[in-house]
Amino acid sequence: MTTHTTKQRILDSLAPVLAHSAYVSINEERLEAFAEELAYDPVPPWDNHLQFLGTPEQTMQYYFFLDSINCCFWAPKEGKRWKYFISEGEWLQGYYAFSKAIKDAFVRDERLFDASYVAEMSDTDFYAIFRGEGELLLLSERVAIIRENFAILRDTFGGSARTFFEAAECDVDRCVDLLCTHFPTFRDQEKFEGRTVYFLKRAQILPSDIAFALPDEPTVQFTNLDHLTVFADYKLPLILEAFGVLEYAPELLAKIDAEELIPRGSREEIEIRAHTIEAVERLRDAVERAGTVRTVREIDWILWVKAKHLTYRHPHHKTPTTSY
C-alpha cells in the first residue's frame, strides 16, 4: 500500500510554486466571503442521463474510456466550438456533449466494452463518436491515448477496468498510484524551477467519478476519498477568479482576455493550477468554519456545476493539453 496520501504528494509539490508566484495570488478576504456562500450550496445530483450507467462492469469501462481523454472542450480564438446533436433543435457543448457522445457510442456499439477492440480502434471509428458541428480539440492525441490505455488495460488487467479497481483494493491513493505507474498518460505533472509538481487531475477524477456514479456498488466503495485534491482544470480557476478568490497579475489577465494560448508547463499555467488547488483546500476549511462539512471533491463538484450557470467578465485560460 502507498505510504503517502495523494493530497500530501500534491500539496507538498505545490509549496515552491505558492512561495514564489509572480502571476497568481489568493485573496483571503474574498475566499472567506465566498466560503460563506458555498456553505449553503447542496452537492448537486449526478447526471446519469448525459453519462452512461449500466452494470457496474460496463460503467467502470465507460468511465475509464471517458476519463482517459477528459480534457479540452473549448475552441481557440475565432474557432468554432464543437457541438453534439441531442434531438431536434437541441445541441450540447462542453463536457456533457463529450460524455453523452461517448455514452451514445457505448450504447450503439458493444465492442467499446472490449479492451482488445478499443486498443486497435481505427481513427474513423473513433472520430465517428464525436461527429457533430465543429471539431473536438486534440482528436489525434485522444485516439492515441485511448489505444495506449486500453492496450495496457488488456495486457496488464485482463481488459477490465473493474479488475484494475480490484487491484487498487478500492483505495483512492493506491488507485492514483497504479494509474500513474501503469498508464503514462495519467501522469499529470510538470517541472517548476527544477522540481516536479503534481496535479494528477484525470488520475484523481476517475475514482471520484466511479464513486459518484456507483454509490451503492459494494465492490467500489472507495476508501480515502478525502485524500483527493480539487481537479485542477480551466473551469474552476474561472469561477474562483470571478468571485475574487484568485487574482491574476495584469499581464496574465491581458493574455487571458486576448485568448492567447497559455503553454502547458509555463510558469503562468502552473501557477493558475497550483493556486486553484490551494484555494479550494482553504475553501474547504472555511466552509467547515461556516458550519458545513464538505470533502474537497464535493466542493469541486459544487463549483463545477455552479460555474456552468454564470456569466463572466473574462474568459477562462486556454491551454492545449490532454491533462485537463
Q: Give pLDDT tens digits for 82-113.
A: 999 998 889 999 999 999 999 999 999 999 99
Give the SS3 label for residue 293: coil
Number of domains in the chain: 1
- Tell whether 256 is covered by a domain: yes
Beta pairing partners, 246 = 26
User: What is the arithmetic mean of pLDDT over 265-285?
Assistant: 98
- Tell whether 113 is covered by a domain: yes
Residue that has been written with the C-alpha cell 466542493 in this structure = 299
Give the SS3 label for residue 21: coil
CA distance 202 to 179: 10
According to the model, what pLDDT value does residue 182 have? 98
| Structural domain containing residue 14 | 6-307
- Tell whether 27 is covered by a domain: yes
Catalytic sites, residue numbers: 233
- Tell whether 323 is covered by a domain: no
Sign of CA dihedral 293, 296, 297, 303: positive
- Tell whether 314 is covered by a domain: no
pTM, two decimal places? 0.96
- Tell whether 317 is covered by a domain: no
Q: What confidence tier does 4 reach under pLDDT thresholds 50, 70, 90?
A: confident
According to the model, what pLDDT value does residue 3 have? 53
- Tell whether 159 is covered by a domain: yes
CA 6 to chain CA mean position, Å? 15
- Tell whether 1 is covered by a domain: no
